[in-house]
Amino acid sequence: MPTLTPRTSRTTAPAFLKGSAFLTGTAVLALSLSACGSTAVSGSAAAPAGDAAPVSNGAAQIVVSVEKVNGEEQCVPDFSSAPAGPVTFTVSNKDASGVSEVELLSDKRILGERENVIPGLKAVSFTVTLTGGEYRLYCPGATTEYKSFTVSGAAAEASGSGVATLLKEGTDGYAKYVSGQVDSLVLAVAALQQAVDSGDVPASQRAYAEARPFFERIEPVAESFPDLDPALDLRVADVEPGTEWTGFHPLEKDLFETKAITEKSKALAAGIVKNVGILKTRTAELEKDAAYQPEELANGASGLLEEVQSSKITGEEEAYSKLDLVDFAANIEGSQQAFEYLKPALADIDGTLTEQISTQFESVTTALADYKDPAALGGFKPYTDELKKTDAAKLTALIQSLQAPLAKIAEKVATV
Amino acid sequence: MSTTPASQPGVSRRKFFSRSAAVAGAGGLALGAAGGAALAAAAAPPALSDVERAAQREHLSYPFYGEHQSGIETPPQDHLVFTAFDVSATTATELQLVLAKWSAAMAELMAGNPVGKVEPAREHGIPVDTGEATDMGSQGLTLTLGFGPSLFDSRFGLEKFKPVDFADLPAMAGESLNPAFTGGDLCIQACSNDPQVAYHAVRNLARMARTSVTTKWTVLGFGRASAGANQSTPRNLMGFKDGTRNITTPEELTEQVWVGTEAGQPWMVGGSYLVARKIHMLVETWDEDTIGDQQSIFGRTKKEGAPLSGEKEHDVPNFHAMTADSPIIPADSHIALVAHENNGGTKILRRGYNFTDGLDSVGRLDAGLMFLCFQKNPEQFVALQRKLGTSDRLNEYIRHVGSAVFAVPGGLPAAGSYYGKEFFD
């Protein structure tokens, strides 16, 4: 991005050419920018910005100090270049309360980062393997937010290719997972239709409870088709006056409230089978085209938790069957699956956050276990008004604690 | 004194605009030409407007660092958001992170800054700051942090950091406490001249700690019900002036409010104890009481706020003045019961706010006083409340429904320190 660098170069650190004679002119300009920046730096962190960082423990070592420099909050790396290979950034915050994270970017992609770089806490570090080229340190909130960082040595075709490969494997894996869920959904709704057609209410209720989780686990994918989701999963409150209410929920009403199967119920069941068939065709195409993007998985994982908060904990999703906790568990499972497919790449980008999310998923899963009831329809206690009254606030806090860190991952794995 | 406001409007404004310019400059670096235009715009002389005239109040900013936390001796601002939290995290490291994050964020918020990007650079970024206080200024915001007795149980290994004799308040007469408004491991008292600025602060502090801390109870105070130095005395929802004889001088603060070495904890030196009581007023029945009864219950006149023994608000009450065979100020009146003359010199720094939550479950106004007070030892409050709980004629019209006590650490010396740092060294 050449507009980032000043056109005039007042080079103050000729030494930076040492060991990197093949650097491009742009790189020289970029380096001189950071060198100029650091002339204002007083004290310890001011460094010979042109020298490549020393290598120890198999990695080039960069120390980044977040601190106040002449009253301005700055990120101050001790070196602004390193040889190609593993590079460890050790980051601490001396006294800059407005800056709390440091990222290494290649163009806009995050290659590695640490959050919670807070004044008074111990230094933290992250290691990335870099090939020759231009990078930037990004310190949101600092007076100078972006600082150039140059890596000299063999230029590879794609920087951070390890992470890119992991992300590709993740999206491919998730595509297969979605297709698998849809395959199961096809079978489950066929069984539902059969039960409804036979007029057996208890059998239809069981089939309904068995089908729902397959849909709820992949709800963000279904929702990405603007015609299919309303046809399958609209709640009565969301039906436009004058339009027909179709899908799971009017059938739920027949099976669990009026407990009577009519011709209309049978038509609803047939409609579900038809639309799930369309869903299968479309998700198969997504898999074939490798169309899933990492950020979509991430947003889907977070979106499922939004679903949990906005319609399951409130008891609106399964108002007649009280199967909200079944859907709740399925949303969590779907969210965790999407996360698991991103996890290998995410662990490279932000290991601490990855660990935190894993821990929060465990807490939620443990808490949900208390609501299991093998004798109940769908395997979970019915979400009655009484249960909602006593437990809703607790469940909300639980999900919010998971969503807060999970919502952050889209940005970290984004390919755009 | 730590809470001397940086209210020189010129200074604040200059600081504000220099920061704007700095932000625009950073944007310029990221965005190239567009950012450069923004930089030029920010550097242009500001137009004089209503905004300019409001700047002094808008940019009233109290220093975050100092000997004492702000929000104690600070002249009470117009609005309050008081929130108590429980720590849901199970490790000391998580608690440490919360306290470090909060301390840094409080410094930013009190300076009128967001806690992070309102509008992140990347499309998939989640806004770090929720944004509703953007460009509103600091509005005299103070953020005061307290630790509840329960924080020092065995969960985080903090037993040895517990101040001497620090415990939940004892049960007292006249209480009907609701567990939903009682206790808490941590509290934040946010006060500001704009309610949205205070709300934004607490909302964002709660949000950044969501994986480790849950909000237990919260009260929004809409009008100050106590006076600080050089402030006129405001009124509570019963229509009476409240806080006429409040603590205002540095000598009284040292004597009655600031903790020294007696708590046995270096982190409490320069700190204080905060008692929070959510007091529901039976507003409708009070409104139908006679003026004579109302005045004898308080011991003061309603309009002037004068003690019944005097004529002006600040006349010193004479508890010995008699009419026929009884004191002019009834011995069981509110001011007689709590006056320092009748309590061995004990005073507390009151810093309460009026609140309303709409209607209660039986259709009455749900309103009252969020009573907040600071003292060197919670025993000061307990001694006074014991008398009030058994004798105060006001009890017919009030119910204490919420209660908590917090140890408020001393102020932080400088950037790089954080509340509770000693716990984790």
pLDDT digits (tens, 9 = 90+) for B140-192: 999 999 999 999 999 999 999 999 999 999 999 989 999 999 999 999 999 99
Q: Is the pLDDT of residue A232 over 70?
A: yes
Q: Which two tokens stand for residue B130?
A: 């929720």
For the domain spanning A2-159, the CATH number is 2.60.40.420
Sequence-ordered alpha helix ranges (H) in B170-246: 195-208
Q: Is the pLDDT of residue B43 over 80?
A: no
Q: Which of B278, B128, B91 is nearest to B203 (CA)?
A: B128
pLDDT recorded at residue B425: 85
Q: Where would I find the beta strands (DSSP E) of B135-238?
A: 142-147, 186-192, 213-224
Spatial separation of the C-alpha atoms in residues B139 and A190, rounded to whole Å: 62
Q: Is A121's Cβ below 8 Å from some Cβ in B?
A: yes
List chain B residues with CB under 8 Å of A300.
none
pLDDT recorded at residue A153: 87
The distance of Cα B213 from the centroid of its chain, to the nearest Å, equals: 20
Q: Is the pLDDT of residue A1 over 80?
A: no
Q: Is the pLDDT of residue A314 over 60?
A: yes
**Region for A378 from its dihedrals, namely left if φ exceeds 0, alpha if ψ lies in -120 to 50, beta otherwise:** left
Spatial separation of the C-alpha atoms in residues A219 and A301, rounded to whole Å: 10
Let me know: does A264 contact A376? Beta carbons within 8 Å.
no
Q: Cα torsion at A75, A78, A84, A88 (round to 10°)?
A: -70
Let me know: does A234 contact A247? Beta carbons within 8 Å.
yes
- Interface mutation vs chain B, best among A118, A167, A353, most B CBs within 10 Å: A118
- Kindly determine whether residue B113 and residue A98, on different chains, have CB atoms separated by under 8 Å: yes
Let me know: does A193 contact A270? Beta carbons within 8 Å.
yes
pLDDT recorded at residue B249: 93
Task: Name the minimum distance, in Å, from the CA of A361 to any CA of chain B.
Answer: 11
In eight-state DSSP terms, residue A1 is: -
Let me know: does B340 contact B244? Beta carbons within 8 Å.
no
Average pLDDT over all residues of chain A: 86
Residues in B lying within 8 Å of A, measured between beta carbons? 22, 25-26, 29-30, 32-33, 88, 96-97, 100-101, 103-105, 107-108, 113, 116-117, 120-126, 128, 207, 210-212, 214, 414-418, 421
List chain A residues with CB under 8 Å of B414.
95
Higher-pLDDT residue of A47 and B21 is A47
| CB proximity under 8 Å: A 17-56 to B | none
SS3 A208: helix
Residue B46: band (very low, low, confident or very high) from pLDDT cuts 50, 70, 90: low
Q: How far apart are the first and last CA of chain A?
A: 15
Residue A156: band (very low, low, confident or very high) from pLDDT cuts 50, 70, 90: low
Q: Quick: pLDDT tens for A168-202.
A: 999 999 999 999 999 999 999 999 999 999 999 99
pLDDT recorded at residue B45: 52
Task: Name the minimum distance, in Å, from the CA of B124 to any CA of chain A.
Answer: 5
pLDDT recorded at residue A68: 94
Q: Quick: pLDDT tens for B359-372.
A: 988 899 999 999 99
Rounded to an integer, the average pLDDT of B318-340 is: 94
Angle at A287 between CA A347 and CA A337, to 5 degrees: 35
Domain boundaries, given as residue ranges, for chain A? 2-159, 162-413
DSSP string, A42-105: -STT---TTSBPPEETTEEEEEEEEEEETTEEEEEES-SEEESEEEEEEEEESS-TT---EEEE
Let me know: does B115 contact B36? Beta carbons within 8 Å.
no
Interface confidence (ipTM) of the complex: 0.79
Task: Name the minimum distance, in Å, from the CA of B357 to any CA of chain A.
Answer: 19
pTM: 0.81
Q: Is A407's Cβ below 8 Å from some Cβ in B?
A: yes
Q: Is the pLDDT of residue A36 over 80?
A: no
pLDDT recorded at residue B3: 44
Let me know: does B377 contact B116? Beta carbons within 8 Å.
no
* Among B29, B97, B207, beta carbon nearest to A145: B29
Residue B48: band (very low, low, confident or very high) from pLDDT cuts 50, 70, 90: low
Task: Name the minimum distance, in Å, from the CA of B421 to any CA of chain A.
Answer: 8
Q: Quick: pLDDT tens for A61-104.
A: 999 999 999 999 999 999 999 999 889 999 999 999 999 999 99
List phi, psi (to 5°) of A127: -120, 135
List chain B residues with CB under 8 Å of A100.
101, 104, 116
Q: Is the pLDDT of residue A39 over 60?
A: no
pLDDT recorded at residue B47: 59
- Interface mutation vs chain B, best among A44, A70, A93, A97, most B CBs within 10 Å: A97
Give the highest mean pLDDT range of A214-228, A247-261, B22-36. A247-261
List chain A residues with CB under 8 Å of B206.
none
Assign a CATH topology to domain A162-413.
Answer: A middle domain of Talin 1 (1.20.1420)
List phi, psi (to 5°) of B348: -135, 155
Q: Quick: pLDDT tens for A352-384.
A: 999 999 999 999 999 999 999 999 999 999 999
Let me know: does B294 contact B288? Beta carbons within 8 Å.
no
Q: Is A404's Cβ below 8 Å from some Cβ in B?
A: yes
Residue type, A107: D
Q: Is the pLDDT of residue B245 over 80?
A: yes
Spatial separation of the C-alpha atoms in residues A230 and A234, rounded to whole Å: 5
Q: Where would I find the beta strands (DSSP E) of B286-397?
A: 322-323, 326-327, 349-350, 353-359, 365-375
Higher-pLDDT residue of B122 and A69 is A69
pLDDT recorded at residue B405: 98
pLDDT recorded at residue A416: 56
Let me know: does A66 contact A117? Beta carbons within 8 Å.
yes
Cα distances (angstroms) measured from residue B143 to each of A315, B3, B254? 37, 12, 21
Given the structure tokens 């405001």, which residue do they identify?
B234
Q: Quick: pLDDT tens for B13-38.
A: 333 333 333 333 333 333 333 333 34
Q: Is the pLDDT of residue A14 over 70?
A: no
pLDDT recorded at residue A8: 34
Task: Name the minimum distance, in Å, from the CA of A202 to any CA of chain B.
Answer: 40
pLDDT recorded at residue B55: 67
